[in-house]
Chain A
Amino acid sequence: MAREMVADRHPTDLLLRSDRLPHIWCPGCGLGSVMSCYTDAVQASGIPVPLHVAVSGIGCTGRVAGYLSLDSFHTTHGRAIPYALGLKVANPELQVTVISGDGDLSAIGGNHLIHAARRNIDLTVICVNNFNYGMTGGQAGPTTPRGATTSTTPNGNYEEPFNLPHLLATAGAVYISRWTSLHVRQLRESMRVAIKKPGFSFVEVLSPCPVGFGKANDLGEGRDEMWFYRRRSIVDDNANLADVGLSMSEDEPIVLGNFVNRDRAPFRPAVEKWAIEEVLHGEA
């Protein structure tokens, strides 16, 4: 049998603006892997592809929308979620997924994130967490682990980071998972479930950023950061979410899993007074 065969296109190209490739992301960045899982999840969702809409904020992950051949919206920094809310409320037929970074979603957009979860608006949010602001060259953000070195924490980060699954569970999200860009099968399946889930779903993806974060923290190349995930990750769907915060310590596990899958009536703004009872009693 032959060794590799040379192709000039890839099956995923169907869902990509392949005329824009190569993308801008660095070698060893996990964003392309996340995008690949998302396109697979879209196709596996059973929902017609034209109904899928991707909304991104600003930053490296913010560029995801622009590489998808879906109707895609690249908005302003932090505002992907309210933009997506407007799209979804105006046109409930659309299957709206927000794909954005940890800084975009949980720092400048943090208020929208928790309120969207509280409302339980029917959106899927894929948060690619690379522990820093990559696009601007590796500054600390609300997910940077304690002690991590970045260009704005030259002596180590002294702030406590967000534990995003815990935050979102408290805020009211109905589906919450965390995977890494190495755990592609679980990630794809988790995205598929999140897309199908009525209400606010949140998928956190830990992803290597060798240039912005890895280098400053001696994590090596992207592949080394992937090994770091393999060494430290454990899967525990039933983990106590208060305990799944992330640290730089090799001794502490990175807890992954499909943490939350519960039912709560999704947000319906256009209800008449007579329909309120129905909403209160959980009819979707």
Chain B
Amino acid sequence: MIRRPMDAGLEQFRVPRGQVFIVPNRCKDCQFCMEFCPQDVLERSDDLNAKGYHYAVVAAGKEDSCVNCQFCNLVCPEFAIFSEEVTEVGSASH
């Protein structure tokens, strides 16, 4: 594979933005999403879910950091987190 340098014309690339969705009661606090989110968007909740686990939430100050990369969606073993692309700031795509 030939990798081309991206430094020319970087401004024409638009980084996607994502909105994080959580199904709180599915989370078992394995922390895969928190530990390996490339943007460090996630942290443990203060409160507990119905199963008694702290669940993933978006960390304070990280509201605009999700790039909708789908890593959390794929790695979450509990089907408890996903993101959707936001087309404009402040509204989810659906």
A: residues with CB less than 8 A from B are 1-13, 16, 18, 21-23, 25-33, 35-37, 40, 181-182, 184-185, 188, 221-223, 226-227, 230
- Let me know if A184 and B74 touch, CB within 8 A: yes
- Let me know if B23 and A10 touch, CB within 8 A: yes
> In the complex, A117→B31 CA distance in Å?
37
- Let me know if B58 and A4 touch, CB within 8 A: yes
B: residues with CB less than 8 A from A are 17, 19-24, 26, 28-32, 35-36, 51, 53, 56-58, 60, 62-64, 71, 73-82, 86, 89-90, 92
> In the complex, A8→B58 CA distance in Å?
17
Complex A-B, nearest 4 residue pairs according to Cβ-Cβ distance, in ascending order: A32-B77, A184-B74, A27-B28, A3-B58
Q: Which residue of A lies closest to B31 (CB)?
A: A223
Q: What are 14 A-B pairs with beta-carbon distances under 8 A? A: A2-B90, A3-B62, A4-B56, A10-B21, A21-B26, A22-B28, A23-B78, A28-B30, A29-B30, A31-B77, A33-B76, A35-B77, A36-B77, A223-B35
What chain B residues lie within 8 Å of A40 (beta carbons)? 74
Given the known A-B contacts A2-B63, A11-B82, A182-B36, are A29 and B21 also in contact in the complex, defined by CB atoms under 8 Å? no
Q: Which of A3, A22, A185 contacts B26 (CB 8 A)?
A: A22
Q: Which of A8, A9, A13, A33 contacts B77 (CB 8 A)?
A: A33
